[in-house]
């Protein structure tokens, strides 16, 4: 993995995504739809992993999705999930690093990302790339969370059943709202906000 050197057991993460986090993806997809209001055009998911958020959002919108991830192993899982969901005409994988997105400027209506921003080494560059590909009228919704509070609690209870010593993992690379604001400022993205609420911390950009 390039970027911040965080070791992730891909198969283990995918098992958790399927067996524990599954309800969170539907909740976050609803949150994205409500917050951005974008339901048509091109959606880019940065650090898509197995594509569970995209599959949930595809069921609520008419968008075409690019699932970008730097891990081929994750994208292999995404490809399997796309075929299982019969969404191969709308969901496409893209092997790339967020710090260098292989898409034209102003070609994307909606950028989404969940649980990936913590790993991006150069957030100024990553935010700049996301803003570059956004179309006028487009929006980005990037962050981390598990959806509505009751779903988060449901997931917490499940995790504690699996491991009684489990606690929300802290990211050790200095991520906080102020760091995100600073990176957005350095990337000259004034059309942006960072909010921490009961559904997690989310960065929004608009053009």
Question: Contact between 69 and ligand SAM (CB under 6 A)?
Answer: yes
CA dist 47 and 190 (Å) reads: 24
**Taking a C-beta distance cutoff of 8 angstroms, is the pair 105, 133 a contact?**
yes
Minimal CB distance to ligand SAM: which residue? 49
Q: How far is the CB of 19 from ligand SAM (least distance, A)?
A: 13
Closest CA to 178 of 162, 194, 161, 197: 194
Q: Is residue 44 at the binding interface for ligand SAM, with CB under 6 A as the rule?
A: no
Q: How far apart are CA 195 and CA 7, in angstroms?
A: 27
The nearer residue to ligand SAM, 29 or 184, going by C-beta atoms, is: 29
Evaluate whether 169 touches 96 at the Cβ level (below 8 Å).
no
Residue 98 binds ligand SAM (CB under 6 A): yes
- 74-93 residues near ligand SAM, rule: CB under 6 A: 74
How many positions of this chain bind ligand SAM (CB under 6 A)? 20
CB 66, min distance to ligand SAM, A: 12
Residue 53 touching ligand SAM (CB under 6 A):
yes
Name which of 75 and 190 has its Cβ closer to ligand SAM.
75
Beta-bridge partners for 193:
204
The continuous run of DSSP H or E covering 125 comes out as helix 123-133
- Torsion angle of the four alpha carbons 143, 112, 10, 124, in this order, in degrees rounded to the nearest 10: -60
x/- track of binding to ligand SAM for residues 14-33 (CB under 6 A): ---x----------------
Reference 206, options 187, 192, 186; nearest CA is 192
C-alpha distances (whole Å) from 98 to each of 50, 76, 130, 204 are 16, 18, 8, 16
159 binds ligand SAM, rule: CB under 6 A: no
Helix (H), strand (E) at residue 178 = helix 177-186
Output the smallest distance, CB 182 to ligand SAM, in A: 19
Question: In the window 108-127, what residues touch ligand SAM (CB under 6 A)?
Answer: 114-116, 119-120
Residue among 114 and 139 whose Cβ is closer to ligand SAM: 114
From candidates 70, 81, 192, 201, binder to ligand SAM by CB under 6 A: 70
Contacts with ligand SAM by CB under 6 A lie at 3, 13, 17, 47-49, 52-53, 69-71, 74, 97-99, 114-116, 119-120
């Amino acid at each position: 993995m390039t970027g911040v050197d965080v070791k992730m057991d891909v198969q283990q993460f995918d098992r958790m995504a399927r067996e524990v986090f599954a309800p969170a993806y539907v909740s976050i997809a609803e949150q994205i739809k409500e917050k951005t209001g974008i339901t048509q055009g091109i959606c880019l998911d940065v650090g898509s992993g197995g594509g569970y958020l995209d599959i949930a959002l595809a069921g609520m919108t008419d968008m075409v999705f690019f699932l970008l991830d730097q891990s081929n192993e994750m994208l292999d899982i995404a490809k399997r999930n796309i075929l299982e969901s019969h969404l191969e005409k709308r969901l496409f994988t893209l092997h790339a690093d967020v710090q260098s997105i292989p898409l034209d400027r102003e070609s994307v209506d909606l950028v989404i990302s969940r649980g990936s921003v913590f790993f991006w080494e150069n957030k100024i560059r990553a935010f700049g790339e996301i803003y570059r590909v956004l179309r006028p009228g487009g929006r980005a919704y990037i962050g981390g969370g598990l959806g509505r509070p009751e779903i988060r609690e449901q997931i917490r209870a499940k995790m504690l059943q699996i491991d009684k010593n489990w606690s929300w993992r802290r990211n050790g690379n200095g991520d906080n709202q102020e760091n995100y604001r600073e990176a957005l400022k350095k990337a000259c993205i004034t059309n942006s906000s960072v909010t921490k609420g009961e559904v997690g911390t989310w960065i929004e950009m608009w053009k």
